[in-house]
Amino acid sequence: MLELGRAGTAGAERGEVPVLRDGEPVGRLRSTDFWKEGSAAVVGDRQWVLERRKGGALVGRWATEPEDAARLRAEQVSVWRGTWRADLEGAVVDVAPASWWQGTYRFTAGERTVAESGTTGGWSPRPTLTAGEDLPLDAQVFLLWLVLVLQRRTYGAAIGAAVAGGAVAGSS
């Protein structure tokens, strides 16, 4: 199981979040642009740029590649259902909410579940990803980042709705 650790622990620098597999660091994630959902990831000795592109696609490319490259890509299929489709270097994976309440997702290739997300951390939940051995580590880290982005969006929408509801209730 992969999980995001606490910032600045397990060998990660300040402002970085370690990516842990069974408690051991396998990578690091650093937010580079909160508003554009940009991040930099290090998996092994490879550096990744993770970002949102025009049109809303979330992509991952090696830091050494041109800016228009995309090795990993996720695009929203349905806003109402909250479904996405990810292309992980040729392997297509459908992403669907497993639990709206818990903010978890199921990743399937055809009829086969290839990964599932979860959370850990109690008051400050952090995403986890349980995936099969056939899914490369780089792709797993991308899916973990995708879950993080989707959870941030959901959290932001919930805060916005609460603030708007408070403003309407306060104006009565």
- Evaluate whether residue 172 is within a structural domain: no
- Evaluate whether residue 106 is within a structural domain: yes
Comparing 155 with 113, which gets the higher pLDDT? 113
β-bridge partners, 86: 74, 93
- Evaluate whether residue 100 is within a structural domain: yes
Q: What percent of the chain has pLDDT over 90?
A: 69
Per-residue pLDDT band for 155 (boundaries 50, 70, 90) equals: low
Q: What are the strands, taking DSSP E only, across 22-111?
A: 24-33, 38-43, 46-52, 58-62, 72-78, 83-88, 91-99, 104-109
SS3 at position 69: coil
pLDDT (0 to 100) of residue 122:
77
- Evaluate whether residue 171 is within a structural domain: no
Q: Which domain holds residue 61?
A: 2-163
Task: State the chain's maximal CA–CA distance in angstroms.
Answer: 58
pLDDT one-digit tens code per residue, 66-88? 999 999 999 999 999 999 999 99
- Evaluate whether residue 170 is within a structural domain: no
DSSP code of residue 168:
H
- The number of domains in the chain is 1
Sequence-distant (6+) residues with CB within 8 A of 68 are none
- Evaluate whether residue 168 is within a structural domain: no
